[in-house]
Structure 1
């Protein structure tokens, strides 16, 4: 192949196109299916309950989808720069390209797109992922990229996040990603418990779990933001320098966490000040003609019966002569006749 003008090392085989993230696609499909189902059955609900029910379901689905999606997203920290840089090792030829970097909780994603795409008789359009989450060996993935002969900008950025790099980005982002991901899974569990409790007559505990959902999301942001406390490692591509900033996943998590905290606090305050309106919003009624339930949320499953003092006085209902004789025979069958 060198005889045909290719510079060693060359990228063997067809350039792979980075596949669509199937995990995010599945999450989106599941929650959209649930939303479509809600819209279909919505006409069967009457009155204001329809609007309340729609708001509850849409908000809950949004929070759950965000928690799962950002956990698998690669856009917690992003950066992009246009650079005039080398393309292949041992070659003086340079290309003009846009270099992108996306850092997630489980790895980094590096893109290289030529401007224009066709340069040096090749299509310059790369999208490569290097993972460090559990079950993945970052060093092995980087060695595999070297054997494949990826372009210089991709290998340069991947090397900066390697475990042997003096920048220390690997251990920094890897630990932050592990802790943030674990906390997000706890937030997702709290979201599930909040949905269960809000569908039962324990609204106060449901508000507490919703508040915990938001707190754990904000805690995940704290773990990931700790990576910005250390001095940044310079990422130079030719004369340009690549700078990173917080990406969409970070800001969406922040907004959703604050929303959960706000809703949890509002529900707790409404439960103390306006419990009847809160129960009406969740289509729950505390009125029962037989039992009187206690006002405390935690004692809703313990009925309080009406005391004897509040019970109506028994009424003496006069019986007919035939009914009285029949009653006496049942009580004293041995006597021939009852005294009336």
Structure 2
């Protein structure tokens, strides 16, 4: 290949990229399937409860889908810049491209798209992911990227976010992602408990679990913001420009959903205190609560009274004598 004029390293063609994260596609598909299923059985519900039921289902599925989606999203901290930078190692040739950096709770995603895409007789369209959560080894994935000969901008940003970089970004983002992900999983469990309790006659506790769902989402934002704010400034220069990052769509979506859960939980607590009957009607529960009627001897110990079988009201096969009948009548009606 060197005899044919190729320049080291020998780049393989860019792999085909799916336009969206497959994990997010699976999550969205599951919740949309559940929504369609509920809509199909919607005509079987009569009256105003149909609208209330649809509103509850849509809101609940939206909250659950957001909690799961942002946990696997790579857009908690994003940055993009248009730069004129080198493309290959050991080559002075430069390209014009859009370089994107997306940092999630479990790793980082780096994109490189040429403007135009066809430059230097190649298709410049890369989307590479480097993970650090669970059993993933970031250093090993970076070495694999070196062996595959990825473009210079991708390797440069991956090295800056590596564990051996003097910037220290790797440890900070990994710690922030660990705690934020843990809070989101707890929020998801609270959401499940809220759905169970709201389907039972314990609406107040369901509202409390909604409050807990919102609180744990806000705690996830707090941990991510606090840890990432402690990172020292590290310059990410691509050619003559510098790449800056800011909070991404996943961060702001989590904030909006957390505030929504807090608002719904507070409204349920207030409605349970001020208008409990309307709250029960909204959740399609019976408005008539069974009441217990106590006798005048409430709280006293009941003393069992026995009577002979001859005094039983059931008709017997053997007729009773007149004296026995009068004895039973006196015992039953003193």
TM norm structure 2: 0.88
Match of 1:247 in 2: 248
In 1, Cα distance between the equivalents of 2:161 and 2:191? 33
1:40 aligns with 2:40: yes
Which position in structure 2 is the counterpart of 1:318?
A: none
Distance across 2 between alignment mates of 1:6 and 1:336: 120
Does the residue aligned with 1:74 lie in a helix, a strand or coil? coil
Matched, 1:59 2:59: yes
CA pair 52-2 structure 1, distance change in 2 beyond 3 A:
same
Equivalent position of 1:220 in the other structure: 220
- Which residue in the other structure is 1:333 paired with? 321
Q: Which residue is 1:300 aligned to?
A: none
* C-alpha distance in 2 between matches for 1:18 and 1:176: 28
Is 2:217 aligned against 1:229?
Answer: no
* Inter-partner Cα distance in structure 2 for 1:308 and 1:74: 65
**Offset, 1:337:** 8.7
Partners in 2 of 1:337 and 1:131 — Cα distance?
91
Distance 2:150 2:229 in 1: 29
Residues 214-271 of structure 1, C-alpha deviation per residue, up to 9 Å, x if partnerless?
A: 0000000111112023333110000011111111000000000000001001101111
Kindly state the Cα deviation for residue 331 of structure 1 after the two structures are TM-superposed. 8.8
Give me the whole-angstrom Cα distance separating, in 2, the residues matched to 1:335 and 1:172.
Answer: 97
- Structure 2 residue ranges without an equivalent (≥5): 298-313, 330-334
Give the number of aligned pairs.
311
- Tell me the distance in 2 between the aligned counterparts of 1:329 and 1:155: 100
- Structure-2 separation of matches of 1:330 and 1:163: 97
One of 282, 294, 315 as aligned partner of 1:307: 294
Q: Which residue of 1 aligns with 2:279?
A: 278
Say whether the 8 Å CA contact 1:83–1:97 is kept in structure 2: yes
When normalised by structure 1's length, the TM-score is 0.87
**Is the CA contact (8 Å cut-off) linking 1:204 and 1:267 kept in structure 2?**
yes
Cα deviations by residue, 1:114-148 (Å, 9 ceiling, x for unpaired):
11111111111101000000110000000000011
Shift of the 144–327 alpha-carbon distance from structure 1 to 2, 3 Å rule, reads closer
Q: Secondary structure at the match of 2:14?
A: coil
SS in 1 for 2:41: helix
Counterpart-to-counterpart distance in 2, 1:113 and 1:69: 25
Q: Which residue does the alignment assign to 2:139?
A: 139
Q: Which deviations, in whole Å up to 9, do the C-alpha atoms of 1:135-193 show, x marking residues without a partner?
A: 10000000000011100000000001100000000000001001111110000000000
Question: For residues 129 and 327 of structure 1, do their structure 2 counterparts lie closer, same or farther at Cα, with a shift above 3 Å needed?
Answer: closer
Q: What are the equivalent positions in structure 2 for 1:130-209 lying under 5 Å apart?
A: 130-209=130-209
Which residue in the other structure is 2:114 paired with?
Answer: 114
CA deviation map 1:64-106 (0-9, x unaligned): 0000000000001111000000001111111000000100000
Instruction: Say whether the 8 Å CA contact 2:14–2:124 is kept in structure 1.
Output: no
